[in-house]
Amino acid sequence: MTYESNKAIDANSITIDGETVPFDAGQTIMDAALAAKIHIPHLCHYPGLTPAGNCRLCMVEMNGESVAACVTQAQSGQQVSSNTPELNAARLAITQMLFVEGNHICPSCEKSGNCRLQAMGYYLGMLEEHFHQFNPRREIDASHSTVLLDRDRCILCDLCVRASRDIDKKNVFAIAGRGIHARLVVNTASGKLGDSNIEENDLAAKICPVGAILIRERSFDSPVGERIYDRRSISDTALTEHVPEKEVDRG
C-alpha cells in the first residue's frame, strides 16, 4: 500500500453534502463545517462557547441518523447531509415554532434587521408562522440602567447563560423550569437584572441572537438598509462569528 492511499484512509475527514471536510480530534461536525466555511444553520451555537444543543436548527443526517451537528463529535467516515429540502423543511418548522412560542412583532422590535431568528426566517424562506400563536405573558425587566431584558422575545437559546457563566464569570442568567414552563431567570435574590453585576460590555449583554437582551438607548442605531441582515444572509455572517479572543483568554 502506498503512503498516499494510507493517508487517505487515516485522514480525519467526514463528508458534508458530498464535500470532504477535514477535522481535528475533539471537533464536532459543526466545528469542522465552520472551519471549512460550510454553513449548517444554527441559533443556539456560538463558536467559542460550549455548545448546548437546544435549538435543533443544526439537525443533520449522519449515516442515516438525525443528530444535532453542534453537539455531535466528528468521526472519520461520517457521511453528513445538511442542505437538503427535507432538513430545511424541518428547520423551517422549528423556526416557525420559535416565533409562535414567543411574542415576536418584528415591525416594533429594536432588534429587527440585526436579529438572527428573523434572519433564519429569511434564509429558510418563511412567509408565515403556520402554527397557532401562544401569546405567552412574560415579564419585562427594566430594572437595570443600561441592559434591558424583554422576555417576550427570548428563544431560550442559553447563549447569555453560557456567556455570563463561562466568559464573563458572573453567572447572571439561568434557565429555570422545563419544557413549556422553561423561562429565563436572573440569579439575584430579587430576580431583577438591576441587582446583578451585569455590564453593557459583558458578552452576555451582547450575545443575545434576538431582541430579548438589549443595550438601552442603542435602539434603531442603524437605519433600515444598513442593518446586518439588510445586506448579508445569515448563511454568510454565521461563518464569521466567534467569541473575541481576548474574551476567551479572560474565560
Partner 1 sequence: MAERKIKIATTSLAGCFGCHMSFLDIDEKLVLLNDRIEFNRSPFTDIKQCSPSDIGLIEGGVCNADNVRVLREFRASCAILIAVGACAITGGVPAMRNYFDLRECLEEVYLNGTGVTNPQIPSDMELPLLLDKVYPVQEVVKIDYFLPGCPPSADAFLQMLVPLLDGQKPRLATDQLHYD
Residues that bind ligand SF4 (CB under 6 A): 104-106, 109, 111-112, 115, 117-118, 153-160, 184, 207-208, 210-213
Binding of residue 80 to ligand FES (CB under 6 A): no
Could you tell me the smallest distance in angstroms from the CB atom of residue 118 to ligand SF4? 4
CA distance 118 to 86: 21
| Segment interacting with ligand FES, rule: CB under 6 A, options 36-44, 81-89, 93-101, 205-213 | 36-44
Q: How far is the CB of 18 from partner 1 (least distance, A)?
A: 24
Of 16, 38, 58, 119, the one binding ligand FES (CB under 6 A) is: 58
Closest to 234 (Cα-Cα) out of 23, 46, 74, 28 = 46
Asked if 42 interacts with ligand FES (CB under 6 A), we say yes
Q: Pattern 147-186, binding to partner 1, x per CB under 8 A?
A: -----x----------------------------------
**Segment 133-152, which members bind partner 1 (CB under 8 A)?**
133, 135-137, 152
In this structure, the number of other CB atoms found within 10 A of the CB of residue 49 comes to 22
Closest contact distance (angstroms) between CB of 6 and ligand FES is 34
> Cβ of residue 5: shortest distance to ligand SF4, in angstroms?
47
d(CA 145, CA 191): 15
Cross-strand bridge partners of residue 14: 21
Query: Exposure of 198 by Cβ count < 10 A (0-12 exposed, 13-18 middle, 19+ buried)?
Result: buried
Contact 140, 152 (CB under 8 A): yes
Q: Which H or E element spans position 215?
A: strand 213-215
As beta bridge partners, residue 149 has 141, 213
| Distance in Å, CB of 141 to partner 1, minimum | 16
Selected from 4, 10, 128, 249, the binder of partner 1 by CB under 8 A is: 128
- In the block, cell 427535507 appears at 86
Rounded to whole angstroms, the Cα distance separating 27 from 35 reads 10
DSSP class of 132: P
What φ, ψ does residue 163 adopt, rounded to 5°? -65, -45
Residues at the interface with ligand FES (CB under 6 A): 42-45, 53-58, 68, 70
Residues at the interface with partner 1 (CB under 8 A): 103-109, 112-113, 118, 121-122, 125, 127-129, 132-133, 135-137, 152, 224, 233
